[in-house]
Structure 1
Amino acid sequence: MKNLLLMRHGKSSWELNVGDQDRPLGQRGITDAHLVGKELAKHNYSIDHVYSSPANRALHTCMICIGEMGHSLKDFSIVNDLYDFSGERVINVIRHLDNALETVLIFGHNHAFTYLANLFGDKHLENVPTSGFVHIQFKESSWAAITQGVTIQTIFPKQLKAW
């Protein structure tokens, strides 16, 4: 059984005149990444590997979340193809994952993550918001063979702030 954990980067700042890959998180993005990371820590996910887009905002979100979760950096990789907005390159990364990995957490971007959540999950999501998390589980034992999974959980910052 394979578990795909997707997390969209936090809200970015547009204050600096930098290229898209270098755009940092804004304060709300930092706060929401901590909020969702703390919630994920409560679920005790057994994550085999964490992958992140090289974009500053995705990488910063990743570092905040895995820090909150207490996950080791020894099982962490930056993958250039995760800097993708369509989802096609992300799908290729997923399909080529090592089958020894049962649960992976991937940090990246929209529209790719909303597309993937709807393509692979069984629950339609209008939008995966910034710092939004989606857990999809597959019955297949090979990443290359995954098709339709089950959307196990979504965690969005807005839901956590409503408490």
Structure 2
Amino acid sequence: MKQIILMRHGKSTWDYDVSDKDRPLQEKGIKDANVVSNTFRMHAPKLDFAFSSPAIRALHTSMIFVRNLGLDLAQFKVEKSLYDFSGDGVQQFVSNLDNNLHTVAIFGHNYAFTSLANSWGDQYIENVPTAGLVYITFDVDDWSRISKGTTKQMVFPKHLNK
């Protein structure tokens, strides 16, 4: 079985004159990433690895998640192809994952994550919000063969008491 956790970056700010990749999280994005990761931690599967887009907002969100779940940084990598908004780059990346990895977390962006959550999962999601998490399982042993899986959990900030 393969399991994937898709987590969209927290709410970012447009207050600085920086490139899209360099936009930081707002305070709300930091709080939401903490609340979502701490909520998920209560029922989280053991992660084999976590990957993040190189965008600062995704990277910061991933570091909050990694810290809150107690994942070793040796089990974390920044991956350029995850700076993707269509979902094609993420899908290609996932299909090439090492099959020795069974459960991975990926931190990135919309529209890619809403599209993939709907394509891979069995529950329709209108929009994966900022700091939103979708956990999907697949009854296959090869990442290149994942298609329709089971949406096990969705953790969205608006559904949590802050």
Does TM, scored on the shorter chain, surpass 0.5? yes
CA deviation profile, 1:96-142 (whole Å, cap 9, x unmatched): 00001100000000000000000000100000000000011000110
Residue 144 in structure 1 maps to residue 144 in structure 2: yes
Structure 1 residue ranges, 4+ long, deviating more than 3 angstroms after superposition: none
2:80 is the counterpart of 1:60: no
Partner of 1:48: 48
Matched, 1:155 2:155: yes
Corresponding residue for residue 106 of structure 2: 106
Deviation at 1:69, TM superposition (A): 1.1
Percent identical among aligned pairs is 50
| 5+ long unaligned stretches in structure 2 | none
TM-score (norm 1): 0.97
CA–CA separation in structure 2 for the residues paired with 1:141 and 1:45: 17
Letter in 2 for 1:9: H
- CA distance in 1 between counterparts of 2:45 and 2:161 reads 22
Amino acid at match of 1:100: N
Matched, 1:32 2:49: no
CA distance in 1, matches of 2:139, 2:22: 37
Q: TM-score of the superposition, structure 2-length normalised?
A: 0.98
CA contact (8 A) 1:41 1:70 kept: no
> What residue number does 2:132 align with?
132
User: Which whole-Å CA distance do the structure 2 matches of 1:32 and 1:13 have between them?
Assistant: 14
Q: SS of the counterpart of 2:154?
A: strand
Q: Structure 2: how far apart are the matches of 1:44 and 1:94? A: 20
Distance 1:123 1:7, change over 3 A: same
Task: Tell me, yes or no, if the aligned pair for 1:51 and 1:76 is still in contact at 8 Å.
Answer: yes
Deviations 1:51-106 (A, max 9, x none): 00000000000001111111111100100000000000000000000001100000
Q: 1:126 to 1:44 in 2, by over 3 A?
A: closer
Question: For the residues of structure 2 that align with 1:69 and 1:100, how far apart are their CA atoms?
Answer: 21
Alignment-mate amino acid for residue 24 of structure 1: P
Partner Cα distance (1:69, 1:40) in 2: 9
One-letter code aligned to 2:17: N
CA separation of 1:44 and 1:121: change in aligned 2, threshold 3 A:
closer
SS in 1 for 2:100: coil
Equivalent position SS for 1:161 = coil
**Letter of the 1:5 counterpart:** I
Residues 1:115 and 2:93 are matched in the alignment: no
Instruction: Report the CA distance between 1:44 and its aligned residue.
Output: 3.8
Structure 1's unaligned 5+ residue stretches are none
Corresponding position of 1:81 = 81
Name the counterpart of 2:8: 8
Question: By how many angstroms is 1:40 displaced?
Answer: 1.8
